[in-house]
Amino acid sequence: MLRLLLPRLLQSVVILLGVTLVVSSLIKLIPGDPVDIISAGDPSMTVEDLDRLREQMGLNRSVFEHYIAYLGGAVQGDLGTSLRQHMPVADLVLERVPATAELAFWAMVFGLVLAVPLGVVTALKRGSWVDYGGTVVAVLGVSTPSFLLAVMMILWFSVDMRMLPASGYRGSALGALFTLDFAGFVTTIRYFLLPAISLSFVLVAVNARLIRSAMLEVLEQDYITFATAKGVPRMVIILRHALRNALLPVVTMLGLQVGSLLSGTVVIENVFAWPGIGRLAVDAIHNRDYAVIQGVVLISAVLFIALNLVVDGLYRIIDPRVGS
């Protein structure tokens, strides 16, 4: 396994070096002088304060010097200091990562739990009203913006029916589940339902159609015909032989979908007042806090690369022939 993943690890290192280059050059790439933009909201800043801020942001250095300094700090966990909150950027971002990561996790879980049975059933009922209904769900899923679905769900489930909270965060549902605090799990998971479903709707649509197409192809393979001729129960054929192979394209897509989840949380977290890195990034953009923006981009890239490595490992577990 390590031999197969080693090239991806080396590739990930090269990608991270490129990401740090882009992130460290972010301030240099912004048109105009960022210090003038920041000082526009604080007329009390003197010329000495502006010069000190330019030195702190590395505006007096060349791109290469700034990159080397930023890379050296990033390797040691130093991503700079927030200009607005006067706190280490790494602490600010890492404090928000668990909320975003768990939201993405539940969105992925809900998406797969709904997509797998929907894809299997529509494949087995090809040409029926069930198949056409699955097509409608797929079209709605890929064409409905997540923020619009989020607002509609808030109006339905929070305002009209008063079933679920409209916003907020009450802690980790996974933490409550692992500690067998079932009352705490019920309380916390209620805050995850609306934002996670809003994020997962497009995943349901895409993955259900992928599974349907893969199932139709797998069910026509010779080994399925052979298993049927041997008298293997239909349910065993579907679950053990057909579905396992049909999941391969879905696992391949998971890495790309992780990126869409991380980017989608930026909007969803602001709709639901979720204390994650997406909301932190939007606040940093409004406040012109460039150090925090750099930190969010870098840590998001690290999360994306790490999760893609996990997906590669899962792919090889599901299909041991890969890389053999």
Q: Name the domain boundary from 78, 113, 129.
A: 78
If asked whether residues 16 and 115 sit together in one domain, one would say no
Residue 67's domain comprises 2-78
pLDDT of residue 154: 92
pLDDT of residue 315: 66
Q: What is the DSSP code string of 244-302?
A: HHHTHHHHHHHHHHHHHHHHHHHHHHHHTT--SHHHHHHHHHHTT-HHHHHHHHHHHHH
Q: Is residue 88 part of a domain?
A: no
If asked whether residues 33 and 139 sit together in one domain, one would say no
- Residue partners of 89: CB distance under 8 A and separation at least 6: 79, 80, 81, 82, 291, 292, 294, 295
Q: Is residue 83 part of a domain?
A: no
If asked whether residues 151 and 255 sit together in one domain, one would say yes
If asked whether residues 165 and 307 sit together in one domain, one would say yes
If asked whether residues 166 and 311 sit together in one domain, one would say yes
If asked whether residues 11 and 137 sit together in one domain, one would say no
If asked whether residues 195 and 299 sit together in one domain, one would say yes
Sole residue written with tokens 């994306």: 304
If asked whether residues 66 and 103 sit together in one domain, one would say no
**Domain containing residue 293: CATH number:** 1.10.3720.10
Judge if pTM exceeds 0.75.
yes
Q: Is residue 179 part of a domain?
A: yes
Phi then psi for residue 88, to 5 deg, are -60, 135
If asked whether residues 121 and 58 sit together in one domain, one would say no
Q: With beta carbons less than 8 A apart as the criterion, state whether 83 and 285 touch.
A: no
Q: Is residue 90 part of a domain?
A: no
If asked whether residues 103 and 250 sit together in one domain, one would say yes
Q: Take residue 48 and report the two structure tokens written for it.
A: 């000495």
If asked whether residues 28 and 169 sit together in one domain, one would say no
Q: Is residue 59 part of a domain?
A: yes
- Residue partners of 168: CB distance under 8 A and separation at least 6: 191, 272, 273
If asked whether residues 178 and 207 sit together in one domain, one would say yes
Q: Is residue 69 part of a domain?
A: yes
Q: Name the domain boundary from 45, 78, 111.
A: 78
Give average pLDDT by consecutive 10-residue segment, the chain, 324 residues.
Answer: 69 83 76 69 74 74 79 83 83 89 88 87 84 84 84 90 87 87 89 90 86 84 81 80 78 74 81 88 82 85 80 67 54
Work out how many domains the chain is built from and give that number.
Answer: 2
